[in-house]
Structure 1
Amino acid sequence: MATNATAVTPLVRRPTAVETVAIVAPHRDDTGYADALHRRGWRSVAVIPQPLPDPPGRTTVPAGRYTSVVAHTTGLRHTVKRLRSLDVGAVLAGSEQGVELAERIARKLALPGSAPETAQLRTDRGAQAAALRAAGLNAPRSVRTESLREALQWRDFSQIDLCELLPDAVGAPVDPVLCRRRGDIVAAWTVMRRLAHQFAGHHRLVLREHLPGRHYLVHSVTHACLGGPPEHRVTDIWAQTSTPNGWPARLDLVDPHGLLARSLSLYTTRVLDLLGVACGPTTCRVVNVPERGPALLSARPVAMATPADDALRASTGWDRMGDAVDSVLPSDPLPTADVPSGHHVVRTLLHAPHDGAVHPLLLRVVAALPTVVRIDDRLSPLAAVRATTGPATVAGEVVLSGAKTADIEVAYRVIRALETAGLYEGGRR
């Protein structure tokens, strides 16, 4: 059920002289940062680590309106010199692979950034859980290892009935494997190690306890305020509803003034402090465990554009990618008046039961629904779709927004009915 998403007060910044921002290791297909900088009339520089990952990963030459591309080889000094010549005044990581390098570059340029010595806390879910538990915050019990034997020994010692196996690197596009028995861990180990290496270049995995409860995506920005400690600000929270097999079905924008949102925001702020986040965006996946409260599953120090960003901005005043850019600018925050709101926003994640193609007529029916404000680019007439096999392979996304929850729920049910009626059978006669 969507909730009334009255806006949290956004912040504006005093004018800044920064006109060029470096995006380190940008995601190949995500143009969010470049587009946000273009809208502001600023220049964007893509810093591409070389040599490129093998097999090619997410740090190949990116799409988007980048005004310059700088290849980073083994020498940081050469890269920094080149960025100085381009008058770079702020640095952001464009992907998880770029986090530590972005922090090192920012330090060399004397620009806002988190400490590169603690980058592992912001890129490794096993290190994140260990740090939180050591500080007394709620987090899943886990072991981070390359050894199958060690993982099995930990599982036996911990006496955990249900575990999740996944790469330690945050952002890896891999669904966790639920393991009820030792044999499940053994069966999934080799494939998961290979997937971890493809994404992060190493074989470290995390085996952690499965925590029951609803999942939430908590987005935040941290500003390095002049003359004071970093300022963390939760911008938006999305409640995930899952299918019986655990796949995400929808994400509902949460009322930021409710008790749940306040609890999640307070917990997230403490997490950001413990993980050493000094500036920039962070997306936390949190599970709200019954009788235990929020527990961090992962924190990603990267902002990613989503099909719902325009609806979010219209509803709350927050600009996903623009606020991420503003968070690394050397300026002081100035509060603004509350932004009028009231619209509910729901991200509908589509599941294709089989390979097929998008049916043009049924897609037009979806587009004609009054609360549909965005259909993502994957869903075009006769576009090929692959069968959904997990959260990482959803067929597409439809964003709903409106003043009345009932209108959104009607549209949501219609979309699900169209999926059953043949939305993915456009190529059949």
Structure 2
Amino acid sequence: MRVAVVDADGIAAHLPAALAAHGLETVRVRSEAPDVHLRGSAEADVRHQGDVGETAEALRRLDVGFVLAGTESGVLLADELSAALGTPGNGMRRPRARRDKYEMVAAVREAGVTTAASFSSPSVDEVVAWAEALGKWPVVLKPLASAGTDNVRICGSVDEVRGGHAAILAGTTRYGSRNETVLAQEYLHGDEYFVNTVSRDGVHHVVEVWRYHKRALDGGHWMYDYEQPVPLEEPRVADLVGYTLDVLDALEIHNGAGHTEVMLTPTGPVLVESGARMGGSHQPSVISRCIGTNQVECLALAVARPEEVTQRRLPTYRPRSFLRYVTLISPGDGVVPDEAGFAAVRTLPSFVDLVLTTPPGGPVRRTVDLATSVGYVYLEADDPEQVESDYKQLREYELNGLYTNEAVAK
């Protein structure tokens, strides 16, 4: 049996090796609109040209027995191909709910699961009227179908809603399409987490739980600052996990990976959004070293040996040290440092790894979202104070010329 991966970019670039470890060959499928911000291989075994039946037939000839979404851009096509092939997949009663954020909220709410107050419209006047009727400021505006913090705006007034709405409609998604409408939601107060899962035949396994730490930026933007794994035993994490599994069921995520972002508010968990794919841009080897498992290997197991999930044999993760994933944030325009330019960062006592999404010598823009960040750093130590100290030092380097190294710029 072969496994098709739709848009095997980002973290999904690690999937072929993980599947090969179980004797499964990967067929790379390229969708019509992959994520323009992810550096992935241009190679594809099958290129989708818009006809699901034609692409499914090509996969059938290649003996494909399972289809996975590699990234967010592959979610809908992976579902459609699974349904066409009759391979294990997700429910097709409401597939757009796994992609369209307004449909997602509606599906979760209809299942009796708590959601944020939400409204969607291409009309700025309608969005303003909704925000004024809600009577709770700020409100959040975002595109219906993008990813990360792409064009997400926190608006504290009617004028900011009008400006944010116009900016979103004037922009494009990470997949190259125009934004035609805007999602408005109540602002959720609390701590935000993400829960990564794998599922097989409707049985879910929690791979890991991480807590986000964010920072506000100028212009109504907010940015992922850093994130770190939390133990399952931490207070209220059990509520968070239970809520996430209810969301997966509501969205009919039966087979494959899940990446669910949840705000833990004073009154309980509330969905931010859920993706029917793996989470983000982590390095599986680093994650395994620090928590004993990773989502890539768990997903490969769910495909190759489904009983590992359905009979609940996969091990529970447990943080072995203090790990922090730090997003690189540039205060202004500049240049990506080379090896020498990052030397001071690499000598931080808790430094583990540096991953660049823009090559050395490439241009740096002021960071306003994940798409304008040039990469990330892992810090890890037995002592959390060491991690915190090194994190602060890294931010000092950024503020004091890390991205304006003249030697690199020449």
Residue identity in the other structure for 2:293: W
Given the alignment, which residue of 392, 407, 411 partners 2:386?
407
Name the amino acid aligned to 1:322: E
Which amino acid in 2 is paired with 1:211? L
Counterpart residue number, 1:231: 203
Matched, 1:204 2:181: yes
Aligned match of 2:140 = 164
User: What is the distance in 1 between the residues matched to 2:118 and 2:369?
Assistant: 23
Given the superposition, is the C-alpha separation of residues 65 and 149 from structure 1 closer, same or farther in structure 2, using an over 3 Å criterion? closer
- Quote the offset at 1:164 in angstroms: 1.1
Aligned to 2:27: 45
Do the aligned partners of 1:287 and 1:295 also contact (CA within 8 Å) in 2?
yes
SS at match of 1:325: helix
SS in 2 for 1:116: coil
Aligned pair in 2 of structure 1 residues 360, 152: CA closer, same or farther (>3 Å)? same
Secondary structure of 2:231's match? coil
**Equivalent position amino acid for 2:292 in 1:** G
Note the 1:110-259 alignment, pairs <5 A.
Answer: 110-171=86-147, 174-196=150-172, 199-200=176-177, 203-224=180-201, 230-245=202-217, 246-259=222-235
Q: Distance in 1 between matches of 2:213 and 2:148?
A: 22
Cα distance in structure 2, aligned partners of 1:85 and 1:384: 44
Q: Which range moved further: 321-330 or 245-254? A: 321-330
Corresponding residue of 1:282 = 258
Partner Cα distance (2:129, 2:354) in 1: 47
- Matched residue of 1:89: which SS? strand
1:289 and 1:184 map into 2 onto residues whose CA distance is 24
Aligned counterparts of 1:174 and 1:36: Cα–Cα separation in 2: 30
- Matched with 1:31 is 13
Q: Does 1:371 align with 2:350?
A: yes
Report the Cα distance in structure 1 between the residues aligned to 2:388 and 2:347, rounded to whole angstroms. Answer: 15
Q: 1:64 to 1:31 in 2, by over 3 A?
A: farther
Structure 1 173/155 Cα, relative in aligned 2: closer, same or farther at 3 Å?
closer
CA displacement at 1:332 relative to structure 2: 1.1
Give CA deviations for 1:103-138 in whole Å, capped at 9, x if unaligned: 222123221101233112211211222233344432
Q: CA deviation at 1:39?
A: 5.0
| SS in structure 2 of the partner of residue 31 of structure 1 | helix
TM-superposed CA distance for 1:143, in Å, is: 0.6
Q: Cα distance, 1:60 vs. partner?
A: 11
CA distance in 2, matches of 1:61, 1:237: 24
CA distances 1:6-44 after superposition (whole Å, capped 9, x unpaired): xxxxxxxxxxxx3x1111244489623334335555322
Unaligned runs of 5+ in 1: 1-17, 225-229
Q: 1:137 to 1:305 in 2, by over 3 A?
A: closer
Cross-structure match for 2:301: 326
Closer/same/farther in 2, CA of residues 233 and 71 from structure 1, 3 Å limit: same
Instruction: Tell me how far apart the structure 2 counterparts of residues 41 and 64 of structure 1 sit (CA, whole Å).
Output: 22
- Of 332, 341, 345 in structure 2, the residue corresponding to residue 354 of structure 1 is 332
3-state DSSP of counterpart to 1:139: coil
> How many angstroms does 1:345 deviate by?
1.0
SS of equivalent to 1:259: coil
2:183 is paired with a residue whose SS is strand
Residue in structure 1 matching 2:65, options 89, 113, 137: 89
CA-based RMSD of the aligned residues comes to: 2.9
How many correspondences in the alignment? 399
Percent of residue pairs bearing the same amino acid type: 23
- Seen in structure 2, the aligned counterparts of structure 1 residues 104 and 337 have a Cα distance that, compared at 3 Å, is closer
Distance in 1 of aligned mates of 2:38 and 2:356: 21
User: Does the residue aligned with 2:159 lie in a helix, a strand or coil?
Assistant: helix
Deviation at 1:242, TM superposition (A): 2.2
Could you tell me the TM-score, scaled by structure 1's length? Answer: 0.83
Letter in 1 for 2:213: T
Of the candidates 274, 277, 285, which is equivalent to residue 310 of structure 1?
Answer: 285
Aligned to 1:426: 405
CA distance in structure 1 between the aligned counterparts of 2:197 and 2:323, rounded to whole angstroms: 18
Is this contact kept in 2: 1:171–1:300, CA < 8 A?
A: no
Q: Tell me the equivalent position of 1:296.
A: 271
**Greater RCO (CA < 8 Å, at least 6 residues apart):** 1
Q: Deviations over 1:308-339 (max 9, x none)?
A: 43221112222222322333446312525667
Unmatched tracts of structure 2, length 5 or more: none
1-side partners of 2:137 and 2:317: how far apart? 47
Which letter does structure 1 place at the counterpart of 2:259?
Answer: T
Residues 24, 59 of structure 1: CA spacing in aligned structure 2 closer, same or farther, 3 A cutoff?
farther
Q: Deviations over 1:332-385 (max 9, x none)?
A: 125256677521210012211111232754511211223211101347655542
Is the 2:10–2:280 contact (alpha carbons within 8 Å) kept by the matching residues of 1?
A: no
Q: Normalising by the residue count of structure 2, what TM-score does the alignment of the two structures yield?
A: 0.87
Using the alignment, how far apart are the partners of 2:363 and 2:50 within structure 1?
Answer: 40
Distance in 1 between residues matched to 2:108 and 2:195, nearest whole Å: 17
